[in-house]
């Protein structure tokens, strides 16, 4: 399964496109507000799987291609 499939709902009057989702992940990643209430950090990353299907690709503000393929929660939940 991929990030887009897991984190979006596809039903409803307006579809949340994969392109829009990738843009929003990029904006979240760049915002610096990727911590949870319990102190964990959300981390998006590319990996060796970027050659396969299911990756998110967007263009950065600087015009470079940014690829996201994994998501991780790091830190303690205590």
CB contact burial 55-77 (16+ within 10 A = b; e otherwise): bbebeeeeeeebbbbeeeeeeee
- pLDDT tens digits, 36-61: 888 888 887 765 555 566 788 889 88
Where do the domains of the chain lie? 16-74
Looking at per-residue pLDDT, the higher value among 18 and 13 belongs to: 18
Average pLDDT score over the chain: 77
Looking at per-residue pLDDT, the higher value among 34 and 76 belongs to: 34
Looking at per-residue pLDDT, the higher value among 23 and 44 belongs to: 23
Phi, psi at 32, each rounded to 5°: 85, 0
Q: How is 11-60 classified by DSSP, letter by letter?
A: -SSS---HHHHHHHHHHHHHHS--B-TTS-EEEEE--GGGGSSS-EEEE-
Question: What pLDDT is recorded for position 17?
Answer: 83
Contact assessment for residue 44 and residue 27, using Cβ atoms and an 8 Å cutoff:
no
């Amino acid at each position: 399964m991929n990030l887009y499939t897991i984190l979006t709902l596809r039903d409803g009057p307006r579809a949340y496109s994969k392109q829009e989702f990738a843009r929003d992940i990029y904006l979240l990643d760049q915002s610096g507000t990727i911590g949870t209430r319990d102190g964990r950090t959300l981390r998006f990353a590319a990996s060796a799987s970027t050659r396969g299907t299911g990756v998110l690709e967007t263009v950065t503000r600087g015009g470079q291609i940014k690829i996201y393929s994994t998501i991780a929660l790091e830190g303690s939940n205590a």
